Chains A and B, each alone.
Chain A
């Protein structure tokens, strides 16, 4: 996936009307190759208010999704071999850009399409991971116990229990029961024999075969379970159709290398950055219009005044309507005007 030349088709998940990307590699690829940043909006459960720490998933604007899908269409038309590939159903081999996946439908289909062997595979993977986790946890708690004993010895609180030999049936040599009884002494002296037995039984449970004691794991995207892909999701036909004026302006500026992001923060449709937003301030606050759409002068004044106040220019742009049938290149058909305060008056 890291190799750009063989970059396979990106899956854009359509969830509740939003277009989301869950794969970090896809996000890096989009940013590097397509100068699309999108908006991260996943919160941490511990810090939901701190939205500078937002993480996966990444939400794309409608225009971005549309552009990626359109790119793939044009690539497909160019190469017949790819078409054949695509018909054969091996979408992943298509060196295209993105395809939209209807998230809920593809989940349901994937579950339905699960064969018995798939099911067994997944189950065994899951079991393995759970066992691994259980053993790791146990080892860690043993270490903690030992450390606690060491601490107690060092601080002089350690006292050998005189009745230890008689209480423990296995004897002094058994490390586990030693640990059990000592931790008993330190942490829960009042509990006596019951607590000791319980701890001893815990330490003897080293075999992963005891499924009843297994810990349950919620699969994460990064775990082996998450990566075990089921079936190729089918392409959904939910291609976004943003308003044409917006999309044409977006496409034009995007083709010039601008990084476009949503414009809510500056009261416009897009904010255009001349390079990666991590390195550059934005230059333009973009408002798209239809060719004959009337714009109040007050909007122009407001945009110009706000833009100049934040060292940007306010831009109005739109697709030029052709009066004659003259053949102009597509890119030249978008007209842009940049407005700044004149510095007086």
Chain B
């Protein structure tokens, strides 16, 4: 990857970063770079693209319907899971190989040990794809690795 491309991606990430922070109130944000944040514990390759790791204000992906998770007051609610965000530009074209390498090289979640597994769904890797368009609109999509039943069905 040339320096120019890398700086493009870093600029892209800064757009998404400010959008997440100021429009969607994400917290605990950490930036993951392609070279610097290699997880020493795993044998992963470096991340193919710069990413963002942060905590949304509410649990982002809830496979259960809203009614069944309605348990008591909102103050007792545990903090939302942190998510990996991959910034992409609308004019990009990515192949399955690229997507697969993003998933394969995600760091293993550091809080996975202390919070404990939340069943089968927690084992599934997922990322949030942040798509930036020319007018700096950002839209977000959840992408799962593997076959995951849609939420509302």
On A, residues with C-beta under 8 Å from B are 256, 274, 281, 283-284, 289-298, 300-301, 304, 307-308, 311-313, 315-318, 320-321, 335-345
Q: Complex Cα distance A342/B19, Å?
A: 15
CB-based contact A301/B139 at 8 Å: yes
CB-based contact A294/B141 at 8 Å: no
CB distance from A343 to the nearest CB of B (A): 7
**Which residue of chain B is the closest to A304 with respect to CB atoms?**
B141
Dominant SS at the B interface? mixed
Any A CB within 8 A of the CB of B144: yes
Contacts of B148 in A (CB 8 A): 313, 338
Interface size for B (C-beta < 8 A) is 37
CB-based contact B141/A344 at 8 Å: no
Stretch from B47-55, B70-78, B89-97 that touches the partner:
B89-97
CB-based contact B96/A291 at 8 Å: yes
Contacts of B60 in A (CB 8 A): 342-343
* A-B contacts at CB below 8 angstroms, number: 109
Contacts of B150 in A (CB 8 A): 283-284, 307-308, 311-313, 338, 340
Q: Complex Cα distance A335/B147, Å?
A: 9
CB-based contact A312/B153 at 8 Å: yes
CB distance from B97 to the nearest CB of A (A): 5
Contacts of A315 in B (CB 8 A): 147
**Which residue of chain A is the closest to B62 with respect to CB atoms?**
A343
Any A CB within 8 A of the CB of B17: no
With A293-B95, A296-B93, A318-B96 in contact, is A301–B147 under 8 Å at CB?
no
CB-based contact A291/B95 at 8 Å: yes
Q: Complex Cα distance A218/B67, Å?
A: 60
CB distance from B144 to the nearest CB of A (A): 4
CB-based contact B140/A293 at 8 Å: no
Q: Complex Cα distance A283/B142, Å?
A: 16
Q: Complex Cα distance A40/B92, Å?
A: 40
CB-based contact B147/A295 at 8 Å: no
Contacts of B93 in A (CB 8 A): 294-297
CB-based contact B141/A291 at 8 Å: no
CB-based contact B91/A297 at 8 Å: yes
Q: Complex Cα distance A337/B129, Å?
A: 12
CB-based contact A345/B138 at 8 Å: yes
CB-based contact B141/A342 at 8 Å: yes
**Which residue of chain B is the closest to A316 with respect to CB atoms?**
B96
With A274-B149, A293-B95, A345-B19 known, 19 other A-B pairs at CB within 8 A are A291-B96, A294-B94, A295-B93, A295-B96, A297-B89, A297-B94, A304-B141, A313-B150, A316-B96, A317-B96, A320-B96, A320-B100, A339-B142, A339-B143, A341-B141, A342-B60, A345-B24, A345-B130, A345-B139
Contact of A300 among B97, B130, B141 (CB under 8 A): B141
**Which residue of chain A is the closest to B145 with respect to CB atoms?**
A337
Q: Complex Cα distance A289/B129, Å?
A: 19
With A294-B93, A295-B94, A300-B141 in contact, is A340–B146 under 8 Å at CB?
no
CB-based contact B147/A289 at 8 Å: no
Q: Complex Cα distance A274/B150, Å?
A: 11
With A300-B129, A313-B150, A335-B100 in contact, is A340–B141 under 8 Å at CB?
yes
**Which residue of chain B is the closest to A317 with respect to CB atoms?**
B96
**Which residue of chain B is the closest to A335 with respect to CB atoms?**
B100
Any A CB within 8 A of the CB of B151: yes
- Nearest first, the 4 A-B pairs at minimum CB distance are A342-B140, A294-B93, A313-B150, A345-B140
CB distance from B54 to the nearest CB of A (A): 13
CB-based contact A337/B97 at 8 Å: no
